[in-house]
């Protein structure tokens, strides 16, 4: 899996999208841009990005998201973040809609950042796809058109306006899926469990064979979270029903599958990057958890 795509990489891949009036870092407040999907790539590369993206997809295709894929057969709103790798594969010639990309700095500049951290843009493992009904599609289309128009305006506070439009899009999505709204932590146990899962997810994806997994076992995570290992284990088990060891193993296997399927790294490189001293240890570990050898998956 190649290195995360930066904003500069994005514009190099799509030079027609390169901004002529929008700086990549506008006075230290980050970068944002809005585009029509009529000119989007038929297939985008499977990789992590170092920016956020909100896409209103009108057209059929597939989203490859982490180690899964999602069929898009009706209008959809997609939230993607810098943590989870993804790609898009169009399945129909007619593609329309809009997408907005923006950097962490653009969001951090907002006084409402804490509210955004409870949205699908920031939460690991949340539902990234929303399917709006006809009325919501019209509303979202209107907002994206307003954003696109605002990008060309000379209004002194246009970036504040654009952040407000982003909030509107997020809330439209959350209204569309009330059962998947994102709840705040109710007690210390659930917070510890959530912090562990967040930290676990942030170890991935592995972008290079030279980057070795740093946190490999429950003790490493307990140290990183400044917790006693027994306290961490109890909290995770109580909230999720699974041990910390089981969560770590499942995530390592998930990453191993992604590397086997989406890179040309050899088994030794994959084993080393995932923290195994010898390829044979990785092969035994993989077979124990999947019932097959790594070479069989390839």
Question: Which pLDDT band, with edges at 50, 70 and 90, does 26 fall under?
Answer: low
Task: Assess contact for 259 and 252: CB atoms under 8 A.
Answer: no
At 133-151, the pLDDT tens digits run 999 999 999 999 999 999 9
Cα–Cα distances in angstroms (integers) from residue 82 to residues 100, 112, 124, 172, in the given order: 14, 20, 11, 22
- DSSP H or E stretch at residue 45: none
d(CA 156, CA 100): 20
At 104-127, the pLDDT tens digits run 778 766 655 545 555 655 565 567
d(CA 272, CA 212): 7
User: According to the model, what pLDDT value does residue 22 have?
Assistant: 58
Helix residue ranges per DSSP H, the chain: 7-13, 104-108, 113-116, 134-151, 158-176, 188-202, 218-224, 229-240, 244-262, 267-273, 279-290, 294-297
∠ Cα 208 210 212 (to 5°): 95
User: According to the model, what pLDDT value does residue 36 have?
Assistant: 94
Residue, of 140 and 5, whose pLDDT is higher: 140
pTM above 0.85, yes or no: no
d(CA 90, CA 130): 18
Residue, of 288 and 9, whose pLDDT is higher: 288
Q: Is the dihedral of CA 73, 147, 184, 135 positive or negative?
A: negative
DSSP labels, 80-117:
E-SSS-EEEEE-SS--EEEEEEE-HHHHHTSTTHHHHT
Q: Is 16 helix (H, G, I), strand (E, B) or coil?
A: helix
| In the predicted structure, residue 264 carries a pLDDT above the cut 80 | yes
What average pLDDT is seen over the chain?
85
DSSP 236: H
d(CA 284, CA 101): 41
Residue, of 177 and 133, whose pLDDT is higher: 133
Least confident of 7-16, 38-47, 175-184: 175-184
Task: Assess contact for 270 and 298: CB atoms under 8 A.
Answer: no
Task: Assess contact for 51 and 121: CB atoms under 8 A.
Answer: no
Task: Assess contact for 110 and 116: CB atoms under 8 A.
Answer: yes
Least confident of 44-48, 176-180, 259-263: 176-180
DSSP 47: B
Q: What is the mean pLDDT of residues 265-283?
A: 97
| In the predicted structure, residue 81 carries a pLDDT above the cut 60 | yes
What domains are defined for the chain?
Answer: 7-180 (2.60.120.280), 188-297 (1.10.10.60)
Question: Which pLDDT band, with edges at 50, 70 and 90, does 69 fall under?
Answer: confident
User: According to the model, what pLDDT value does residue 179 have?
Assistant: 42
């Amino acid at each position: 899996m190649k290195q995360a795509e930066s904003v500069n990489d994005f514009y190099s891949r799509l030079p027609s999208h390169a901004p002529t009036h929008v700086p990549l870092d506008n006075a230290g407040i980050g970068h944002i841009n809005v585009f029509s999907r009529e000119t989007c790539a038929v297939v985008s590369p499977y990789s992590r990005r170092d920016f956020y993206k909100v896409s209103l997809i009108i057209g059929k295709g597939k989203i490859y998201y982490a180690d899964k894929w999602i069929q898009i057969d009706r209008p959809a709103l997609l939230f993607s973040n810098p943590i989870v790798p993804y790609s898009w594969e169009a399945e129909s010639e007619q593609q329309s809609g809009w997408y907005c990309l923006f950097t962490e700095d653009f969001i951090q500049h907002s006084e409402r950042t804490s509210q955004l951290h409870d949205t699908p843009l920031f939460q690991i493992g949340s539902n990234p796809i929303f399917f709006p009904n006809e009325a919501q599609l019209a509303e979202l289309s209107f907002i994206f058109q307003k954003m696109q128009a605002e990008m060309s305006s000379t209004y002194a506070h246009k970036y504040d306006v654009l952040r407000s439009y982003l909030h509107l899009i997020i809330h439209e999505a959350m209204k569309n899926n009330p059962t998947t709204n994102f709840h705040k932590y109710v007690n210390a146990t659930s917070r510890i469990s959530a912090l562990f899962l967040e930290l676990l997810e942030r170890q991935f994806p592995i972008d290079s064979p030279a980057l070795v997994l740093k946190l490999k076992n429950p003790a490493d995570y307990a140290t990183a979270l400044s917790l006693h290992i027994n306290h961490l284990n109890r909290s995770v088990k109580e909230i999720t029903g699974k041990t910390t060891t089981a969560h770590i193993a499942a995530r390592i296997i998930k990453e191993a599958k992604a590397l086997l399927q989406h890179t040309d790294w050899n088994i030794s490189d994959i084993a080393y990057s995932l923290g195994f001293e010898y390829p044979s240890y990785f092969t035994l570990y993989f077979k124990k958890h999947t019932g097959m050898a790594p070479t069989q998956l390839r």
